[in-house]
């Protein structure tokens, strides 16, 4: 457990080449539910996001995903958008969406991927 925490801390402090990451190979695309959208809307409405422009009705969070050699999800790292609760929420959602939802890979080693979640509300 401590090793996983140390890995996550090391990953978060190292710069990620977001443009260089391959798209996450989902078998089935994730579905962002109305409840998930509502959570993000509440975070924005209560001003927990420091740079969310007034009138914003959408927010996208990029998430880097480290897949191990056995196709397990090692760690998810959200890209900073100045809204920590939504960043962490998106990273947790991606971890759940990714488990057992990976297309067969040819890589026999760890590999980083990128995915994005977009939350939209009215």
Q: What is the pLDDT of residues 69-110, one digit of tens each?
A: 888 899 999 999 988 999 999 999 999 999 999 998 877 788
Take residue 29 and report the two structure tokens written for it: 């695309």
Q: What pLDDT does 52 receive?
A: 65
Hey, how many other C-beta atoms are within 10 angstroms of the C-beta on 60? 12
Structure tokens at 9: 């801390």
pLDDT at 62: 97
CA 16 to chain centre: 13
d(CA 91, CA 12) in angstroms, rounded, equals 12
45: Cα separation from own chain's centroid: 21
pLDDT at 28 over 80: yes
Flag whether pLDDT at 113 surpasses 80: yes
CA 21/CA 70 separation, integer angstroms: 19
Residue 112: is its pLDDT beyond 90? Answer: yes
Asked if residue 9 has pLDDT above 50, the reply is no
pLDDT greater at residue 6 or residue 32: 32
Give the Cα separation of 117 and 112 in Å (integer): 17
Among 94, 82, 85, CA closest to 118: 94
Q: 3-state class of 77 per DSSP?
A: strand
More confident residue, 122 or 81: 81
* Cβ(24)–Cβ(114) below 8 Å: yes
pLDDT tens digits, one per residue of 38-63:
999 999 888 777 766 667 788 999 99
């Amino acid at each position: 457990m401590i090793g996983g925490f140390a890995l996550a801390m090391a990953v978060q402090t190292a710069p990620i080449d977001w443009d260089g990451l391959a798209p996450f190979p989902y078998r089935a695309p994730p579905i962002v539910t109305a409840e998930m959208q509502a959570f993000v809307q509440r975070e924005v409405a209560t001003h927990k996001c420091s740079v969310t422009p007034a009138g914003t009705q959408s927010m996208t969070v990029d998430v880097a995903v480290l897949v191990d050699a056995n196709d397990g999800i090692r760690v998810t790292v959200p890209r900073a958008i100045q809204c920590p609760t939504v960043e962490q929420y998106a990273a947790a959602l991606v971890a759940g969406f990714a488990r057992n939802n990976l297309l067969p890979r040819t890589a026999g080693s760890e590999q980083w991927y990128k995915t994005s979640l977009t939350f939209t509300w009215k």
